[in-house]
Amino acid sequence: MDRIGDDDRAALRRAVFALRSRERRRVFPARLHLGDPDGEQVVHPVVRHPLDDGLRLDVVAGLLRLRPAAAPSAAWLTRVGTPAPHDLDLLWLPAVLRAFAEAGEEARWVAVVTKTGWYDPRTGDRVTWQRLRIRR
């Protein structure tokens, strides 16, 4: 499994910053994102009641069809908590990977983003910040 490259690490850093900036609530609904963290993306709220594997796959496949054509092959789940394995991540990861494969694409990266950092559930790569600043 390939590690996430420097450009994608920078994009994930900006995704963490965006989540911190936009979401002021301590507890907020999880969301699945596909596309560009810095640009166009499609977002789906992850509902509390569990969907079966087939329905999760259908959701991701639908998001792939709605994703802007120029958007990168990236997917990330935003949720509360720490950037560590969680049941929700393990439910959605197979659906994301399979939907990309069925679309004939390889996911450039798949990650989980929280307010404290991000992690890649495929490789275990993880980055956290106490104070995150983005200089523009």
1 in a structural domain: no
Residue with tokens 């990168």: 72
100 in a structural domain: yes
The Cα–Cα gap between 95 and 62 comes to 12
Predicted pLDDT of residue 1: 52
135 in a structural domain: no
133 in a structural domain: no
pLDDT at 50 over 90: no
Q: What is the CATH number of the domain that holds 16?
A: 3.40.140.10
136 in a structural domain: no
| Number of domains into which the chain is organized | 1
10 in a structural domain: yes
Mean pLDDT on 31-44: 92
pLDDT at 113 over 90: yes
- Domain that residue 79 falls in: 6-128
On whether the pTM is more than 0.75, the answer is yes
Alpha helix stretches (DSSP H) within the chain: 6-22, 53-66, 87-102
135 band by pLDDT with thresholds 50, 70 and 90: low
